[in-house]
Amino acid sequence: MRTTADQSSWPAIPKSRLLDVLEPRGYGTVRADGPGDLRLVLGGGEMVFSAEDAGWQVWFEGDTAGHDTDALVSQVAQQVQEFTGEHIEWIRYD
């Protein structure tokens, strides 16, 4: 995820607000320890966030069956947009 105004930057979210902003609403995720800036348990898998030069990188580990991962990232991008007031886009890499 990145801002469309400056495609080389990522939306600034204070570390103390990561969970509030990046947790997809309505999924009952739980914060987990591990690599990345934020790691959330989602069913049998994990959703991981890392602030990188190109933007917020989001990836999934483990079993994501029953979850539309594109819809999850799209929802989080909308939440980031609401929080920052910046237009946010996300790019899928397979």
DSSP code of residue 4: S
Give 1 or 75, the one with higher predicted confidence.
75
- Contact present, 56 and 48 (Cβ < 8 Å): no
Rounded to an integer, what is the distance from CA 30 to the centroid of its chain?
14
Hey, which residues does 46 pair with through a beta bridge?
41, 61
The pLDDT of 82-87, averaged and rounded, is 90
Which domains, ranges and CATH numbers included, belong to the chain?
2-89 (3.30.310)
Q: What is the pLDDT of residues 43-70, one digit of tens each?
A: 899 999 998 887 889 999 999 888 899 9
> Computed from CA positions of residues 64, 65, 66, 71, in that sequence, does the dihedral angle turn out positive or negative?
positive
